[in-house]
Homo-oligomer: A and B are copies of this chain.
Amino acid sequence: MPANRQTFLATGLGIGLLTNLENTLTAYEPTVGFDPTNLTKANVPTPALLLDLDLFESNVQKMAEHCRRSNRGFRPHAKTHKCPEIAKRQMAAGALGICAATVPEAEALVAAGITGVLLTSPIVEPTKIARMVSLIQQGRGVMLSVGHPREVELLSAAASTAGINVDVLVDVDIGDRRTGIMPGQPAVELAQFIAKHKRLHIRGVQSYAGHASHVVGFEARDKVSREVMGKSAATRDLLNKAGFDAGILSGGSTGTYNIDSTVQGVTELQVGSYVFMDIDYRRIGGQTSGENYADFQHSLTVLATVVNATHADRVSVDAGTKALDTTTAWKPEAKGWPGLTYNRGGDEFGMLTLEPGAKLPQIGDRIEFLVPHCDPNVNLYDRIYATRGEKVEAIWPIAARRG
């Protein structure tokens, strides 16, 4: 190992920041033209996913403090970041565990030593259930959510075969109509069905209201989320009256964290996007910050390079639909470049057009973009460059991304 690399690895850049850096570089980066001791925003290969560590750390702390003050737990959702290094920092800030949307996410989290992983999505493939049983056998407090009798049967059979007990939450559908059982009596009946399977133990209820998280305007959002989370809380009460020990009520989102933490009965928040923020969340407005939701800061950007400047009215950057998620109605925004509009230029390129009087970038200029929707944007990448100012402090694998 060259001396400068040793120095780099040994300097005090923060506990754990360099975890897996060696492996990461080995796995992902060419050696030509790539000096890990001197990575900056000026020389990381583009398109690149960047995380501003100061803003990220501020977001992590702010949510943790909110939950502490509110006497609620939080189990942040890894579907947003798919990054065990980020999960570790959420745990260090006091999280009860980490939510996973997929089995590969759960596997990557458990492999990184995360405890209290909750799989929030339904699974009915026998091989995936076997993989979850294998994780549970590691004794790190892994839980599943179930919302259909078929899931119960399959999970019970696998648990019996393995001779293990499985903690489950009843997934209650409070309006998204995509996973879970209906609240009230149907949920009680599902719980009674679960109770017939001796290896399965009900620990509580989970609900996600995607339709509440992005309601524009705090008052309107407060009304919607309070109503739907109330359904989940009432269902939890019904379960407890029926003799179950449904201690957990897990739900909520970055858009409703300060609403759901005042709903009676909610025990923990499944917040995700707060670590990064995005344009889709910014526009929903905050309780005190007006039209732009500003409770958390935009720590996530995509860095791109201007690769064509043939025309007077536009330039091309090397970030198209493969590098910048454009599945929402919002456009990526060029940070620090007022008057530039990002337009899709196909899979490989973005086109920046100019408002009157705006300054056109030059070929070779590097531009950071705020992303419209963080989750699917992160999913396009294998690593995050974690930056402090201009310097890259670490490269974090998006290890839970596996497709």
| A residues adjacent to B (C-beta < 8 A) | 28, 30, 32-34, 43, 45-47, 49, 79, 101-104, 107, 121-131, 134, 147-148, 150, 173, 176-182, 210, 305-311, 314, 316, 318, 321-323, 325-327, 344-349, 351, 363-364, 373, 375-376, 379-383, 402-403
Contacts and interface: CB of A to CB of B under 8 A. Distances in A.
Nearest to A317: B178
Contact of A32 (B131, B310, B364): B131
A88 B305 CA distance: 31
Contacts of A127: 32-34, 43, 45
Given A210-B346, A364-B124, A403-B380, A147 B310 contact: yes
Given A123-B307, A327-B321, A179 B316 contact: yes
Contacts of A180: 308, 310
A210 B349 CA distance: 12
Given A150-B363, A375-B347, A177 B125 contact: no
A210 B86 CA distance: 39
A346 B124 CA distance: 19
A382 B129 CA distance: 22
Contacts of A34: 127
Given A123-B307, A346-B210, A380 B382 contact: no
Contacts of A28: 402
Given A101-B348, A131-B32, A148-B310, A124 B375 contact: no
A373 B322 CA distance: 12
Contact of A314 (B177, B310, B382): B177
Given A33-B129, A43-B127, 14 more contacts: A30-B107, A33-B126, A33-B127, A33-B131, A45-B103, A101-B348, A102-B348, A124-B307, A125-B305, A150-B364, A179-B316, A321-B376, A347-B375, A347-B376
Contacts of A43: 125-127
Contacts of A178: 308, 316, 345-346, 349, 351
A315 B347 CA distance: 31
Query: Chain B CB within 10 Å — which of A123, A127, A344 has the most?
Result: A127
B124 A363 contact: yes
A101 B349 CA distance: 10
